[in-house]
Amino acid sequence: MPKNIKQRTIKKQVSASGIGLHSSNIVELTLKPASVDTGIVFKRTDIENSELIKAKPESVTDTRLSTQIGTNPAQRIGTVEHLMSALYGCGIDNVIVELSGPEIPIFDGSSASFMLLIDNAGIKEQDADKKFIKIMDHVRVEDDGKFAEFTPNDIFSLDLEIDFNHPIIPKQAKRFDITSNFYKKEIARARTFCFQKDVEYMQSIGLALGGGLDNAIVIGDFAVLNKDGLRYKDEFIRHKILDCIGDLYMVGYPILGHFNAELTGHGLNNKLLREIFSDDNNWKFITLPEDSSSIPFI
């Protein structure tokens, strides 16, 4: 019989420090190996006896401009989506994520630094089959003209459309099949972005306090303000896809299905996950053989 794809963790503990995009706190991030079926678990080390927060849809408690997790307001962890996206891209099933503060560091605004950190730790195959969530039925959620949906598919694929009504970001649509070796090359380096005119307001409500040209694309009225410009011609929609992948991996398992969305964000992505798991007929667990063409990670 063919051997199934196995679960993965990292080989050794690794750490890095950086600023939080919204909090402006300098935070140390540590990734630790975890045993089979642990999942992705977060913990605040700056708080005594802090709760363990597992990656799952109901752990998400705030989606204003980022994905925040944790049911205890004093122990929440913000901006988890870029790290979650990188963990997906590396096929990591089990890891302990420790934080010395309230937010994952933003680094350069993409998931490339997290990918490098995982590369430095090394990836270890574990003695248990990897579980995939296969979408079995059409599931759709809508909100004020926006929508996100999943339909059955043998691989993980995405169709995404964005429209910011701005001369620097024209209406864009992109389709990707997220299969082996794709994520690192086409998605990981795409950075988060914001409009210069919105920065003052965001900071007035306690957001984007640590943002700058070194960790985000800043868009003026008629130009990108970053000296080196864009990394991809369509970097904006690629970053939105990066965000969607991170948000969807909050389910804790890679999904096999076709994701289609227009103007979606963190909140609608999480609403879609909750809708999927509201009915057992919408999904099922499967395993895949090692030679499967459906493998959606490196």
Residue 277 CA to residue 130 CA, distance in Å, equals 19
pLDDT at 180: 65
Rounded Cα distance, 163 and 131, in Å: 35
- φ and ψ at 257, to 5 degrees? 175, 170
Question: What 3-state DSSP class applies to 102?
Answer: coil
DSSP 8-state code for residue 146: E
Q: Is 166 a residue of the active site? A: no
> Across the 298 residues of the chain, what is the mean pLDDT of every consecutive 10-residue run?
91 96 90 98 95 97 93 93 97 97 96 97 98 98 96 96 92 87 91 88 78 91 94 96 97 97 97 98 96 72
Digit-coded pLDDT (tens) for 8-55: 999 999 999 999 887 888 999 999 999 999 999 999 999 999 999 999
Residue environment code for 181-218, b if the CB has 16+ CB neighbours within 10 A, otherwise e: ebbbebbbbbbbbbbeeebeebeeeebbebbeeebbbb
Minimal CA–CA distance to 110: which of 215, 256, 4? 215
pLDDT tens sequence across 198-223: 887 777 887 777 888 999 999 998 99
Global pTM reads: 0.95
Q: Can you give the pLDDT at residue 257? A: 97
Query: What local confidence, expressed as pLDDT, does residue 26 receive?
Result: 94
Catalytic residue among 22, 82, 258, 266: 266
Question: How far, in Å, CA of 93 to CA of 103, rounded?
Answer: 21
